[in-house]
Structure 1
């Protein structure tokens, strides 16, 4: 067998792809499960995290901030790897208690949050004050530039197919 052939079949000892984001999030692979309403549960987030990506619980999938606390605790029983929480802020006549969801995320010691939606500045400020890394999901470059000015740690650029934007 030639040296080239032996290299082709030799097992890899480190299959990690190292990027600035994998280092920021403490994950093996640069794969992030975005927040998905009704799908971002402990089972999904733990599975993604256990596979080396960054699993995300979706805060507003849970009916109350206390239910989110329980879902975070449940996720911790399924993985010892990093996972985050998505908090999507949308304008509404009767908005959910965003500040209470935010406090649940802070109190439960989550280290990385994905924000999305309308003017997340107060949430970004609160998360950053507690040492939480913030990824902001955007669908336009101008929103990414705005998020950068807010001080987020990373940007996720999603296409217009994202959540029906």
Structure 2
């Protein structure tokens, strides 16, 4: 099936979510437009409107799927609600436990979940 069939991307290249100052909408859109996986970084604090703004700005720059990285060790519940509401293609979670119930909630919203294990 490959990346295209599972996640909607042409290449299995992942651009790391290094922070909004580095992995902002312009970079994420450029990566997505090239067929790879571009990831925004959710803020390390609850900032749902700021995150919604990042998602919507990215959508003005690409019609390709992209994702968001969330550090679970930081507050993230309100940000997660925005991610699911905006139905981004991919949610990468790391540095913490992401309960199965939230995975199911993401899947119900059409969001694929990748849990990074280190």
TM-score range for the pair, normalised by the shorter chain length? 0.7 to 0.9
Residue pairs, 1:146-161, within 5 angstroms: none
Unaligned 5+ residue runs, structure 2? none
Q: Which of 91, 106, 111 lines up with 1:132 in the alignment?
A: 111
Q: Name the count of aligned residue pairs.
A: 116
Inter-partner Cα distance in structure 2 for 1:26 and 1:129:
17
2:92 to 90, 109, 114: 114
Compute the displacement of 1:132 (Å).
1.4
Cα gap change, 1:40 to 1:102, in 2 (>3 Å): same
Q: Tell me what 1:88 maps to.
A: 71
User: What TM-score do you get using the length of structure 1 for normalisation?
Assistant: 0.64
Measured against aligned partners, the alpha-carbon deviations of 1:34-53 in whole angstroms (never above 9, x if no partner) come to 22124221011001001110
1:74-85, aligned counterparts within 5 Å? 74-85=57-68
Higher RCO structure (Cα 8 Å, ≥6 apart): 2
Question: Structure 2 vs 1, CA of residues 119 and 61 (structure 1 numbering), >3 Å: closer, same or farther?
Answer: closer
Residue 46 of structure 2 contacts residue 79 of structure 2 at CA under 8 Å; is this kept in 1?
no
| TM-score, normalised with respect to structure 2 | 0.86
Q: Is the 8 A contact 2:85 2:109 kept in 1?
A: no
**Shift in Å at residue 63 of structure 1?**
6.5
Distance 1:69 1:20 in 2: 30
Greater displacement, 51-60 / 125-134 = 125-134
In terms of mean alpha carbon deviation, does 101-110 or 36-45 score higher? 36-45
Runs of at least 5 residues in structure 1 that lack an aligned partner in the other structure: 1-18, 140-165
Mapped to 2, the partners of 1:62 and 1:33 lie a distance apart of: 22
